[in-house]
């Protein structure tokens, strides 16, 4: 099935798909049906990492990069002069299977430019997923991008074969979206999102009645927001994200620092580098909302509409609310311990379990993995307390924690900060 032009097509269509940041392969549980190929591991596995430090878990590829839309932020917009090509259903099926068998990937993430009509495009993508599941007996992960404007019936059908469906919102406010992508509006984005949500709800309902109900997007749906292409504030972005997690029951919201792919377009800001620090701060906030029980308005609000780029959002929260501290490690609730800078979910759990056996001191905290350099200003434990945030004043704590030791060699690539290292592999 591999033809001489496959290599060329792969390069073009992978290059066209790379700006979509989602790569998660977690959240699904699709055991191998006896003697078929593959199983989707519920925790997700990264198989490689690109030189920009992003995980490669799925074969992230476009069906075609021909597109009838003209969205200003997109590399594949109609008016761009880029090489265009398309894969056939068989080619994609064969590539997925061969890569999967060699343990290169966890599965397929298929997206597409819009050709002929949203329904036609969605139908082609569904065919790939259907063929993989029914003819190849493949149980690996499949993530399909739902095309804005596709009919609910087609989206439902896609959900029967895919582990995850996603519709990208891209821009955090509707008027800015309309400005940059005249052919799109929130209606065309939220209607497929709604039908996926309803599909998932109906499926859970049916599962209660009939054990044999087929799976419907077991890994849920996700979306992506582009950061820095429009003047939308972090407050707008994070409150939209909260709404999506709560009302739409999304599994993940991804944030993508805007990369000026079409720098000639006057509607877009002129950037010298993508806003990687801001993107990182948004991910940290997202993490705080999902795993640390923070609310969006505790991180950003009317008086602080944007995240502090100098310090992480948890430290920033602590500095703005010094009266909550110091927190007594040996007495405070789990919820409060989670709010201490320098303490993560793992160490917070260890603290709550470990303190049942006796009062904890700072040496023990350090052994558990607490970053004492940060935490020291916000806690008291079984020792005479050192200087905490109240004696030191927030501005001095901030200074003490942000001043870097003088480096002799200037770093070549200050670029992207690391996210939460270990969670990446295990969640």
**Interface with other proteins (CB under 8 A):** 2, 6-7, 10-11, 14-15, 18-19, 31-32, 34-39, 41, 45-56, 59-60, 95, 98-99, 101-104, 137, 257, 259, 273-274, 276, 350-351, 353-358, 360, 364, 367-369, 413, 415-416, 418, 421-422, 424-426
Contacts from 262-271 at CB under 8 Å and sequence distance 24+?
262/72, 262/73, 262/74, 262/75, 262/77, 262/80, 265/72, 267/72, 267/179, 267/180, 268/72, 268/73, 268/180, 268/229, 269/228, 269/229, 271/228
d(CA 388, CA 266): 50
The three-class DSSP label of residue 123 is helix
Residue count of the chain: 427
140 or 192: whose CB is closer to other proteins? 140
User: In whole angstroms, how close is the CB of 351 to other proteins at the nearest point?
Assistant: 8
- Residue 15 CB: number of other CB atoms within 10 A? 15
21 or 165: whose CB is closer to other proteins? 21
Where in 259-405 does DSSP place strands (E)? 327-328, 379-380
User: In whole angstroms, how close is the CB of 315 to other proteins at the nearest point?
Assistant: 21
φ/ψ of 34, rounded to 5, equals: 80, -100
137 or 207: whose CB is closer to other proteins? 137
Cis bond upstream, residue 326 (ω within 30): yes
State the DSSP H helix or E strand holding residue 337, giving kind and residue range, or none if neither: helix 334-337
φ/ψ of 403, rounded to 5, equals: -65, 125
User: In whole angstroms, how close is the CB of 155 to other proteins at the nearest point?
Assistant: 27
d(CA 226, CA 49): 22
Question: What is the DSSP code string of 207-273?
Answer: HHH-TTPPP--TT-EEEEEEESSS---HHHHHHHHHHHHHTS--SEEEEEE---S-TT-TTS---SS
User: In whole angstroms, how close is the CB of 112 to other proteins at the nearest point?
Assistant: 17
d(CA 21, CA 60): 10
270 or 323: whose CB is closer to other proteins? 270
User: In whole angstroms, how close is the CB of 11 to other proteins at the nearest point?
Assistant: 5
User: In whole angstroms, how close is the CB of 420 to other proteins at the nearest point?
Assistant: 12
14 or 243: whose CB is closer to other proteins? 14
User: In whole angstroms, how close is the CB of 342 to other proteins at the nearest point?
Assistant: 17
89 or 276: whose CB is closer to other proteins? 276
User: In whole angstroms, how close is the CB of 395 to other proteins at the nearest point?
Assistant: 31
User: In whole angstroms, how close is the CB of 137 to other proteins at the nearest point?
Assistant: 8
């Amino acid at each position: 099935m591999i033809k001489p032009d496959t290599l060329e097509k792969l390069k073009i269509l992978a290059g066209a798909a790379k700006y979509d940041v989602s790569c998660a392969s977690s959240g699904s549980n699709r055991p191998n049906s006896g003697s078929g190929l593959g199983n989707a591991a519920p925790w997700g596995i990264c198989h490689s990492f690109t030189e920009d430090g992003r995980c490669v878990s799925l074969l992230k590829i476009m069906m075609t990069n021909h597109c009838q839309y003209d969205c200003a932020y997109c590399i594949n917009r109609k008016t761009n002069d880029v090489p265009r090509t398309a894969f056939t259903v068989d080619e994609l099926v064969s590539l997925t299977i061969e890569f999967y068998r060699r343990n290169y990937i966890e599965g397929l993430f298929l997206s597409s430019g819009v050709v002929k009509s949203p329904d036609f495009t969605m139908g082609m993508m569904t065919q790939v997923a259907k063929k993989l599941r029914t003819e190849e007996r493949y149980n690996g992960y499949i993530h399909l991008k739902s095309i804005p404007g596709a009919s609910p019936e087609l989206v439902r059908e896609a959900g029967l074969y895919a582990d995850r469906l996603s519709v990208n919102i891209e821009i955090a406010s509707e008027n800015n979206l309309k400005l940059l992508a005249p052919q799109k509006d929130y209606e065309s984005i939220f209607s497929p999102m709604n039908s996926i949500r309803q599909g998932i709800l109906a499926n859970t309902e049916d599962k209660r009645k009939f054990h044999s109900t087929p799976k419907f997007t077991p890994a849920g749906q996700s979306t992506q927001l582009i950061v820095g292409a429009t003047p939308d504030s972090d407050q707008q972005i994070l409150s939209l994200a909260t709404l999506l997690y709560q009302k739409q029951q999304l599994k993940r919201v991804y944030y993508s620092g805007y990369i000026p792919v079409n720098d000639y377009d006057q509607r877009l800001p002129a950037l010298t580098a993508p806003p990687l620090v801001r993107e990182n701060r948004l991910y940290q906030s997202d993490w705080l909302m999902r795993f640390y029980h923070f609310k969006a308005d505790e991180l950003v609000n009317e008086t602080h509409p944007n995240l502090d780029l100098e310090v992480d959002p948890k430290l920033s929260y602590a500095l703005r609310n010094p009266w909550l501290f110091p927190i007594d490690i040996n007495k405070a609730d789990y919820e409060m311990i989670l709010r201490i800078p320098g303490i993560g979910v793992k160490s917070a759990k260890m603290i709550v379990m470990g303190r049942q056996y006796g009062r904890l001191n700072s040496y023990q905290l350090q052994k558990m993995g607490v970053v004492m350099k940060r935490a020291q200003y916000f806690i008291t434990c079984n020792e005479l307390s050192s200087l905490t945030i109240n004696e030191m004043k927030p501005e001095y704590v901030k200074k003490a924690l942000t001043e870097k030791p003088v480096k002799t060699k200037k770093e070549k690539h200050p670029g992207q900060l690391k996210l939460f290292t270990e969670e990446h592999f295990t969640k």
